[in-house]
Amino acid sequence: MKYLLALYPDPSSMTGRTQEEAQAAMTAWDAYTQETKDAGVFEAGEGLQSPDTATTIDLQPGGDHIVTDGPFAETREQLGGFYMLDCSDLDDALAWARKIPMPGGKVEVRPVMDYESVGSTQHNSAEAVQ
């Protein structure tokens, strides 16, 4: 079953970092990504640019959608990236989430929707696009 691991870093963890500390953090992320690939669970993963680069579309019922600069939520926690992993079960996904090298951050683990079980004849996956 596929699980999305949504990454919510602690914004204060990035302020004041030296170049060496930033490089060490990237080395830890690279090692984690390689571990997921070696284990055969990696499906996708990306980091996101900072929330101030976001654009949000508020989908209005009448069709006059509102476009605003910035992220949807005005909170301290903002989505920083994700991993899509194909795990045997929730316990397996949680084990991978515990290994994320992001001290002070949070990881939301959420199963990906099974479209066929809800009656869809189309599904949103990379396999469908290929």
27 residue type, one letter: T
pLDDT at residue 74, rounded to an integer? 59
| Domains of the chain, earliest start first | 2-50+77-129 (3.30.70.1060)
pLDDT at residue 126, rounded to an integer? 53
Task: Look up the pTM and report it.
Answer: 0.81
R_g over Cα of the chain:
17
The enclosing H or E element of 92 equals helix 90-98
CB 94 within 8 A of CB 87: no
pLDDT at residue 130, rounded to an integer? 45
Q: Which residues of the chain have pLDDT under 70?
A: 71-77, 123-130
